[in-house]
């Protein structure tokens, strides 16, 4: 999935991955992480997710990274917030209160004050980032997350699982074994929830997919250093 693919998706409003409601597994599981108020929370490939507003309302400082300027502008407009904008390395930083969204390519983060960003974040939340990435980009993404999170930091990860032969594009199916294979070099992994949508999912109801599950994991960054 190159940058132009996602720009086109936002320009043509093909954003079926966006949800108008805050994710149920976020509201149920996040409080169990017992993070201190004002903790720094990373939300990669954030789109215009309302989940970021919920996190900010809980008292956290939220840093999202999003490629599309349309998505960032929509987020602040729909939240009735007027952000300030400033250049920040390869990004345009939009800020309002404790919300920061860095507009640009998340994978360029090493070019932006790398010495300050490494192990900066106390926690991360991923509902639609990993499942948006093709297989060849996932290991790079996981290593980047590990670099940005402090030892002991928590990651709440939400993925989807369906029969992968039934769909070739994003959101990609990523099941528990795939999560374990990707993350165990850097994180401990605990499965915390599964929502089986069944006929409530329109693509299951239409027969396009045979099943569609939403999986939830809590991961904790281990203390091993990079070589």
66 is in an annotated binding site: yes
Question: Is 98 within 8 Å of 63 (Cβ atoms)?
Answer: no
**Which residue is associated with the tokens 């069944």?**
198
User: Omega before 85 cis (within 30°)?
Assistant: no
CB 51 within 8 A of CB 22: yes
- For the record, the structure tokens of 5 come out as 């693919």
Which residue bears the tokens 């930083």? 93
DSSP state, 35?
Answer: P
In sequence order, what are the residues at sequence separation of 6 or more whose Cβ sits closer than 8 angstroms to the Cβ of residue 160?
A: 131, 171, 172, 173, 174, 212, 213, 214, 215
- 127 is an annotated ligand-binding site residue: yes
The span from the CA of 212 to the CA of 41, in Å, is: 28
Q: Is the peptide bond before 73 cis (omega within 30 degrees of 0)?
A: no
The response to whether 45 counts as a known ligand-binding position is yes
| Torsion sign, CA atoms 11, 12, 15, 19 | positive
Q: Is 10 annotated as a binding residue?
A: yes
Give the annotated binding-site residues: 10, 45, 66, 127
Binding-site residues for S-adenosyl-L-methionine sit at 10, 45, 66, 127
């Amino acid at each position: 999935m190159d940058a132009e693919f996602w720009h086109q998706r936002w320009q043509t409003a093909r954003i079926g991955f966006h949800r108008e409601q805050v994710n149920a597994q976020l509201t149920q599981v996040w409080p169990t992480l017992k993070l201190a108020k004002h903790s720094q929370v990373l939300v990669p490939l954030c789109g215009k997710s309302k989940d970021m507003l919920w996190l900010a309302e809980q008292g956290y400082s939220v840093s999202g990274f999003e490629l599309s300027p349309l998505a960032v502008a929509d987020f602040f407009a729909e939240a009735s917030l007027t952000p300030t904008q400033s250049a920040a390395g390869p990004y345009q930083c939009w800020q309002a209160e404790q919300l920061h969204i860095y507009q640009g390519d998340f994978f360029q983060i090493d070019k932006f004050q790398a010495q300050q960003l490494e192990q900066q974040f106390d926690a991360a939340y991923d509902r639609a980032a990993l499942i948006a990435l093709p297989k060849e980009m996932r290991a790079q993404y996981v290593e980047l997350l590990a670099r940005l999170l402090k030892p002991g930091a928590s990651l709440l990860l939400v993925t989807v699982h369906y029969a992968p032969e039934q769909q070739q594009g994003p959101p990609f199916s990523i099941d528990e074994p795939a999560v374990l294979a990707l993350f165990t070099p850097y994180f401990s992994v605990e499965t915390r929830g599964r929502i089986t949508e069944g006929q409530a999912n329109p693509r299951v109801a239409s027969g396009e997919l045979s099943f569609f599950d939403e999986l939830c994991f809590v991961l904790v960054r281990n203390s091993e250093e990079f070589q």
